[in-house]
Amino acid sequence: MGEFMLKCLCLPAVILLQLHCVNQAVMRLLVRPVAVGYQARVNSLFEGENMQIITGILLASLLSAPILFTGAAQAQVPERTSALPARPDGRALAVNEQASARFNQGKLAQEEKDFEAALLEFSEAIKLAPTYAQAYYERGRTFLILDQHERALTDFNKVIELKDPETLVDAYNNRGYIYNEFLKKYPEAIADFTRAIQIDPSYIRAYYNRALAYDRSNQSKEALADYSKTIQLDAQYVDAYNNRGIVYLQTKQFELALADFNKAVALNPKYALGYYNLGLTYATQKKFDEALDHYSRAIQINPEYAQAYHNRGYIYNDIRKDYAKALADFNKAIELRPGYLNAFYNRGLTHYNQRKYEGAVADFAEVLKLSPKDIDAFYYRGESYYHLHEYDKSIEDFQQVVALAPNDAWGHYWLARAYSLKKDLTQSLASLETAIKLKPEFKNTAPLEADLVFLRNLPEFKKLVQ
């Protein structure tokens, strides 16, 4: 097989198109854009950190911490102490005062990022005052920071049960976050974000989070409406423009997608995500020069952007035929993400196109470690072995192909060729017969196939190709 070329770019669910043919192979290209993930309104401890989720097939977290927003305000003691403070008159604190003091100690521990100590203090406050909703809320928020999602959910449930007006709206939002991000219970998440909006119709984060929940449950119309409402309430909300652009891209409204991504980078010129999604939109439209420029801009801003290297490598390889630059980009993507399956696969195809079959074999072997039933990796590794004259290994790989996809005519045809060169004519004829049944055009191809030379004088062969 010769150089591979782009066959199709599909949105949104499939990440690659895999077709086998005589002279073309197909690269895997990340075709669903990156979306900014849920932003739980839980406190200001890590305000400014950005959680970004790659939606679609490559669901993966770039940063694990959510944005945390201010919850209910509480008085803070000037420094942490191991003992409770006394009243000025020397008398013991009342139970509620003791609980409040414990709560304040917990808040201070949070600020110092001593989360285990914070949990202890909030738990002591709850023991002293079992209906202390704000202590449950802060303990739930702390559990969420520590990735103890089930325990956080229990505390937010308690806040909602107690109906504390200071923390209720945030508790609904944070419970919705847990349902959506960790439990994948999208209807429950949507219901909680909706309840938060009912309590506070100007709650921007709830609209944004509900939009993400709608997007994950394939409700594009509703997602668009909520992203638009978010932007109406906050015209500077960069992530909302980005994510609305993603929905437009998924629904092939390319000009609207470009407008939103351009708005995002205009608001934040250092927004690598927006440049990446601009590149993806242009690539979807087959405007590869523009795509290349925007992937490069994303990499300039974020030199550790593995997906941008991967997709730029695709353009260098498939469009520009600049294999050296393609390999450099795939190498960098793999360096940044050692288990990056698609980068291994596409680097293998780049090696294949350069006829560097040993490198292709090595990369497809890595793909199969990560995805043991990847038919295409077996297919192209089988071809590579064939070109290296390692026919036994080639046969093993194509046997895997036809075991996984019995109707893959090309898999059977390659088996016929490999068996023929091993002079196993019985198996070669059997594989050729299956290939012709699945793809009758092989009747015209087979008599001209040099690798089937040992079959040509057999009556069975002549009958097959009549």
Give CA angle at 219 (214, 222), nearest 5°.
70
Give the residue among 123, 100, 117, 118 at the shortest CA–CA distance from 43: 118
- How far is Cα 66 from Cα 64, in angstroms, rounded to an integer? 7
217 touches 186 (CB < 8 A): yes
| Cis status of the peptide bond prior to 12, with omega within 30 of 0 | yes
- From the number of C-beta atoms within 10 Å of its C-beta (0-12, 13-18, 19+), residue 203 rates as buried
- How far is Cα 14 from Cα 264, in angstroms, rounded to an integer? 26
Neighbours of 421 (CB within 10 A): 18
What tokens does 371 get? 């995805």
Q: What is the DSSP string of 59-97?
A: -EESS-PPP----S-----SS--SSPPPPTTSPPPPHHH
What tokens does 290 get? 């523009």
pLDDT for res 62: 21
Bridging pattern class, strands 34-36 and 60-61: unpaired
- How far is Cα 234 from Cα 204, in angstroms, rounded to an integer? 8
Give how far Cα 90 sits from Cα of 19, 82, 85, 93, 99, Å: 82, 18, 10, 9, 18
Q: Which residue is listed with tokens 């409700």? A: 219
Q: Which 3 state secondary structure label does DSSP give 57?
A: coil
Identify the bridge partners of residue 16 per DSSP, sorted by sequence position: 28
Specify the fold of 389-466.
1.25.40
5 touches 318 (CB < 8 A): yes
Q: Which residue is listed with tokens 């699945």? A: 438
- How far is Cα 331 from Cα 45, in angstroms, rounded to an integer? 37
pLDDT tens digits, one per residue of 350-409? 999 999 999 999 999 999 999 999 999 999 999 999 999 999 999 999 999 999 999 999
Neighbours of 104 (CB within 10 A): 18
Give how far Cα 225 sits from Cα of 128, 129, 240, Å: 45, 42, 11
Which parts of the chain have pLDDT scores under 50? 1-26, 29-93
Identify the bridge partners of residue 52 per DSSP, sorted by sequence position: 36
Residue ranges of alpha helices (H) inside 115-250 are 115-128, 133-145, 149-162, 168-181, 186-199, 204-216, 220-233, 238-250
Q: Which helix (H) or strand (E) holds 114?
A: none
71 touches 237 (CB < 8 A): no
CB-based contacts of 72, cutoff 8 Å, min separation 6 = 134, 137, 166, 167, 170
What tokens does 30 get? 């990340």
- How far is Cα 118 from Cα 124, in angstroms, rounded to an integer? 10
pLDDT tens digits, one per residue of 297-349? 999 999 999 999 999 999 999 999 999 999 999 999 999 999 999 999 999 99
439 touches 409 (CB < 8 A): yes
13 touches 56 (CB < 8 A): yes
Phi/psi for 129 (5° steps) reads -140, 85
Q: How far is CA 404 from the centre of its chain?
A: 26
pLDDT for res 466: 87
- How far is Cα 45 from Cα 67, in angstroms, rounded to an integer? 9
Q: pTM for this structure? A: 0.79
Amino acid at 255: E
Q: Which 3 state secondary structure label does DSSP give 457?
A: coil
Maximum alpha-carbon separation in the chain: 112
Percent pLDDT > 90 in the chain is 78
pLDDT for res 13: 26
